[in-house]
Amino acid sequence: MKRAVFLLAAFLLATVLSGCRFVRIEEEERKPVSYTVVERQDIPTQLDEIMNEKKEKEFQLSYETGDALYLVKGYGRQMSGGYSIQVEELGASSNGLFFVTRLIGPENLDEAGIPSYPCIVIKTEIQNKPVTFREGKKADHKAGKGE
């Protein structure tokens, strides 16, 4: 009886494990992809509405129209203005598109101001690949100031 239970358990375990696969995106050479930064007034209306719904918290999304792919990275509510976003990379490999951005804070953090919602939208050609969003390296405001 114990042997039958053991064989049944082994069979079920083998069946379950054979149906599971881990997909691993290998790091490989990425080729730069051309893009343009989209001004607020040029963002498609439906995308703009989605962004407004999500702006309070950090978010990332991709949005396709008939001929273009829009990639959006929002950094949520910040306590003041003066932030900017740098695109460090938009690159493609055989198995994905990689969008790397970095939030750069204001020079003067002492100024309390109106909250802002830093966000960047870029437009590129449709790639038909999964998109991976990544954070770039943090900016060091002290770098290059003689310290």
Q: How do residues 40-85 score in pLDDT, each as one tens digit?
A: 999 999 999 999 999 999 999 999 998 899 999 999 999 888 899 9
Report the C-alpha gap between 88 and 135 in whole angstroms: 9
Rounded to two decimals, the pTM is: 0.73
Tokens 């449709």 identify what position? Answer: 126
How high is the pLDDT of residue 108?
Answer: 72
How high is the pLDDT of residue 100?
Answer: 97
Q: How do residues 76-113 score in pLDDT, each as one tens digit?
A: 999 888 899 999 999 999 989 999 999 998 877 655 67
Which two structure tokens, joined as six digits, stand for 75?
Answer: 């950094």
Residues 128-147, mean pLDDT to the nearest whole number: 67
Which helix H or strand E contains 4, and what residues bound it?
Answer: helix 2-19
The domains of the chain are located at 27-135
Backbone angles phi, psi at 45, to 5 degrees: -55, -45
Report the C-alpha gap between 71 and 120 in whole angstroms: 8
How high is the pLDDT of residue 131?
Answer: 95
Distances (CA, A) of 139 to 77, 101, 117, 130, 134: 19, 11, 18, 28, 15
Q: Which of 4-8, 12-16, 25-29, 30-34 has the lowest mean pLDDT?
A: 12-16
Q: Evaluate if residue 4 carries a pLDDT over 60.
A: no
